[in-house]
């Protein structure tokens, strides 16, 4: 945690009049995130964008109504990450509540079939004789798969959020806010958010047509699914613009009242989190990795079953299985990270000589964990990274992660356009993508990737920087402000949790939990003693009794232990002052 960074204070020249009734620190924080009035902070469901803005939603509802009236067999084709799992569970639960009698789901095993609605997975799906396939969190690039389904007489509704290519699949309906000519302004809506909107539109159509009266059933409360929508939205690390913040906030409120799915509550339990006190970051760092572990190491169906079950005991049993999978995943990831760093050392590259766009392949890498490794290397070296693992029949599969300033999906598109046939397939968005190439083409692709990144990024773009909300006045180190900031969220991608920087005297320091630095700091102006903790520090550097003062980037946190609540600084970065 001691590396060279530039600390940049988020610029705020004036506090807009519409925010001046708030706590001054909170007003500054909101202003720094582009808000100008407290009216923009409304998180009520009545403020959600209307589903009518989504291109293709009416066509999707038309086909779903037909399937319901004729009680056709419907198959949900999901994805093997947390967004895909929550999308699948949300769709399955909603359709079941609407009265669909024959609904099933299928998630391609990433090691056998790869991502999305491929012709191969269509053949597997056809064995169940569905009349309609609904893709969730995938499908926008499934040109061949949709054609294969259509050839078998199976209709396809595509619901997705990933960026489309030049050609769209020939589906009976496509709902994707990022498709051309879609007026839905919340382009960052993730897969579960998109299909949730489709279910809202379907419920309204059924209400207007008198379906629920005719069938003597009560219209389902789709708000009961918002815990899943919140989990998928946070896990997919999409920007938390206003619409997404509302979805996440409403889901968190359900979880805090223990009105969430038994499986989600069980995952929180095995992670040691109390539902009443969770924040969005708990979904991202405690729940999502355990759910994702199933898709990374085995079959995401285990995670979906955990979300679907109404049996609390069964949910806890499945959550414990997922927890063990996540422990196994961490062990694999740590070994892969050591192997990757050793490989870089062996070829004699220090950070100044490293490619601007870094591509790494190892025959021993686990295909299900390369995305996490790419994220770790991106964070460590602050540059776009693609990690490859062996695929099938002489291919290697890559998982890409990027930093601000380089749109990774567009970068892959540019390489593919200039080098036809080099990339067998790819897809993704600005910060993450996946691709497949031939193993023999790895060195060539690696060089082209570096060249592409160099064309877009300047050397200064690789300088690590930490954007903070400035320094706090001594009077602001209070439990009340920490609670105010916690309640002011949800915080997340592109609406970051408030952080601050400053210099402190270091009174006490010790390692806890193997790699975490527990500290007692002193605010220099008032002498106030403050508890602080920094996770995953370099134990060759810390603790060090010779260090008397430290420079920190930190967040205010409420530490709850044995019924006591105290202020604690959560340290993101520190170095000797």
pLDDT in tens for each of the 577 residues of the chain? 445 678 999 999 899 999 999 999 999 999 999 999 988 888 999 999 999 999 999 999 999 999 999 999 999 999 989 999 999 999 999 999 999 999 999 998 876 777 789 999 999 999 999 999 999 999 999 999 999 999 999 999 999 999 898 899 999 999 999 999 999 999 999 999 999 999 999 999 999 999 999 998 899 999 999 999 999 999 998 999 999 999 999 999 999 999 999 999 999 999 999 999 999 999 999 999 999 988 877 778 999 999 999 999 999 999 999 999 999 988 988 898 888 888 777 765 556 678 999 999 999 999 888 988 999 899 888 999 999 999 988 999 999 999 989 999 999 999 999 999 999 989 888 888 999 999 999 999 999 999 999 999 988 888 888 999 999 999 999 999 999 999 999 999 999 999 999 999 999 999 998 889 999 999 999 999 999 999 989 898 999 999 999 999 999 999 988 778 999 999 999 999 8
Q: Domain spanning 46-322 has what CATH number?
A: 3.90.1640.30
CATH of 466-576, one of 3.40.449.10, 3.30.420.40, 2.40.50.460, 1.20.1250.20: 2.40.50.460
Contacts of 107 (CB under 8 A, 6+ apart): 77, 78, 79, 80, 84, 85, 88, 295, 299, 300, 301, 304
CATH 3.90.1640.30 occupies which residues in the chain?
46-322
Residue 295: the pLDDT is 82
Within 10 angstroms of residue 350's Cβ, the number of other Cβ atoms is 8
> Can you tell me the distance from the alpha carbon of 415 to that of 448, in angstroms, rounded to the nearest whole number?
7
- Cα–Cα distances in Å, from 61 out to 54, 105, 116, 173, 197? 12, 19, 22, 9, 11
Q: Are 1 and 516 in contact (CB under 8 A)?
A: no
Residues in the chain: 577
> Can you tell me the distance from the alpha carbon of 286 to that of 188, in angstroms, rounded to the nearest whole number?
23
Q: Residue 357 corresponds to which tokens in the numbers above? A: 């766009």
Give helix 242-256 / helix 262-270 axis angle, nearest 10°: 80
CATH 2.40.50.460 occupies which residues in the chain?
466-576
* DSSP label of 488: T
* DSSP label of 533: E
Residue 2: the pLDDT is 46
Q: Are 411 and 456 in contact (CB under 8 A)?
A: yes
Residue 374: the pLDDT is 93
**Residue among 292, 251, 288 nearest 268 (CA):** 288
Residue 330: the pLDDT is 85
Q: Is the peptide bond before 527 cis (omega within 30 degrees of 0)?
A: no
Q: Domain spanning 349-462 has what CATH number?
A: 3.10.310.30
Within 10 angstroms of residue 475's Cβ, the number of other Cβ atoms is 10
Q: Is the peptide bond before 332 cis (omega within 30 degrees of 0)?
A: no
Q: What is the pTM of this model?
A: 0.89
> Can you tell me the distance from the alpha carbon of 408 to that of 416, in angstroms, rounded to the nearest whole number?
12
């Amino acid at each position: 945690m001691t590396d060279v960074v530039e600390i940049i204070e988020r610029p705020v020249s004036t506090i807009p009049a519409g925010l001046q009734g708030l706590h001054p620190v909170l007003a500054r924080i909101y202003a720094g995130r582009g808000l100008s009035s407290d009216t923009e902070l409304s998180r009520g469901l009545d403020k959600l964008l209307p589903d009518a803005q989504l291109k293709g939603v009416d066509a999707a509802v038309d086909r779903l109504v037909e399937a319901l009236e004729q009680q056709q067999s419907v198959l949900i084709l999901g994805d093997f990450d947390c967004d895909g799992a929550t999308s699948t569970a949300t769709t399955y639960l909603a359709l079941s509540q609407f009265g669909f009698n024959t609904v099933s789901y299928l998630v391609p095993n990433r090691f056998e079939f790869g991502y999305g609605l491929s012709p191969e997975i269509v053949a597997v799906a056809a064995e169940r004789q569905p009349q309609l396939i609904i893709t969730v969190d995938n499908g926008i690039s499934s040109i061949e798969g949709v054609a294969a389904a259509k050839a078998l007489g199976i209709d396809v509704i595509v619901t997705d959020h990933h960026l489309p290519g030049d050609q769209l699949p020939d589906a009976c309906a496509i709902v994707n806010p990022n498709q051309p000519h879609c007026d839905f302004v919340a382009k960052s809506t993730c897969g579960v958010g998109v299909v949730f909107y489709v279910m809202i539109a379907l419920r309204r159509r059924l209400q207007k047509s008198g379906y629920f009266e005719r069938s003597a059933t009560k219209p389902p409360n789709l708000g009961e699914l918002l815990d899943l929508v919140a989990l998928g939205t946070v896990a997919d690390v999409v920007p938390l613009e206003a619409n997404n913040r509302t979805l996440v906030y409403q889901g968190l409120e359900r979880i805090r009242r223990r009105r969430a799915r038994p499986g989600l509550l069980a995952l929180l339990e095995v992670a040691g989190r109390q539902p009443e006190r969770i924040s969005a970051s708990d979904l991202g760092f405690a729940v999502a990795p355990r759910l994702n572990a199933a898709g990374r190491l085995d079959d995401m169906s285990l995670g979906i079953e955990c979300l679907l079950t109404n049996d609390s005991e069964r949910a806890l049993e499945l959550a414990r299985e997922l927890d063990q999978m996540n422990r196994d995943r961490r062990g694999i990831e740590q070994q892969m990270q050591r192997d990757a760093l050793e490989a870089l050392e062996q070829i004699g590259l220090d950070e100044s000589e490293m490619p601007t766009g870094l591509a790494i392949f190892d025959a021993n890498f686990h295909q299900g964990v390369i995305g996490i490794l790419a994220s770790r290397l991106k964070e460590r070296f602050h540059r776009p990274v693609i990690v490859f693992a062996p695929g099938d029949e002489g291919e290697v599969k890559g998982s890409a992660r990027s930093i601000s300033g380089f749109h990774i999906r567009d970068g892959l598109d540019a390489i593919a356009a200039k080098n036809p046939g080099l990339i067998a397939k790819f897809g993704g968005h600005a910060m993450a993508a996946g691709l497949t190439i031939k193993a023999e083409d790895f060195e060539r692709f690696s060089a082209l990737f570096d060249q592409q990144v160099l064309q877009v990024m300047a050397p200064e773009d690789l300088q690590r920087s930490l954007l903070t909300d400035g320094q706090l006045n001594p009077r602001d180190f209070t439990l009340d402000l920490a609670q105010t900031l916690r309640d002011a969220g949800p915080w997340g991608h592109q609406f970051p949790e408030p952080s601050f920087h400053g210099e402190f005297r270091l009174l006490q320091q010790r390692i806890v939990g193997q790699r975490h630095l527990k500290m007692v700091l002193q605010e220099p102006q008032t002498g106030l003693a403050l508890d602080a903790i920094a996770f995953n520090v370099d134990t060759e550097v810390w603790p060090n009794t010779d260090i008397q003062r430290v420079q920190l980037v930190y967040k205010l946190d409420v530490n709850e232990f044995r019924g006591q609540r105290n202020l604690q600084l959560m340290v993101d970065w520190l170095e000797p002052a």
